[in-house]
Amino acid sequence: MRTFVAVIGAGAALLLGGTAYAADASALAQKDGCLACHTVDKKVVGPAFKDVAKKYAGNKDAEAMLVKKVKDGGSGTWGPIPMPPNGPRVSDADIKTLVQWVLSLK
């Protein structure tokens, strides 16, 4: 019985931790200006974050490639409107956290 309770407790901690992580990353997206052009679930100026996650699901190089694209800017992948560079205005740590969050969305 103790093992079962410990497993349930650990699972709950992971779920709550994931919720806290999502809330923190969402707040970071707001603070860093990402939500001026993106939302989680629908296209605005740029693609929806969930569409980005879907496009790169299973791509082992996606995180590094997207960190570079967010930092340096880019165009052509989602249409003709370019994404401006976000580095150095947004820290490398924030960019990495944001990319990991976006890629985790379902």
Domains and CATH numbers, the chain: 2-104 (1.10.760.10)
For residue 23, the model assigns a pLDDT of 84
Q: How would you label 17-38 residue by residue, b for 16+ Cβ within 10 Å and e otherwise?
A: eeeeeeeebbebbeebebeeeb
CA–CA separation, 47 and 98 (whole Å)? 15
Kindly state the tokens that stand for 51: 């569409």
| pLDDT one-digit tens code per residue, 49-106 | 999 999 999 999 999 999 999 999 999 999 999 999 999 999 999 999 999 999 999 9
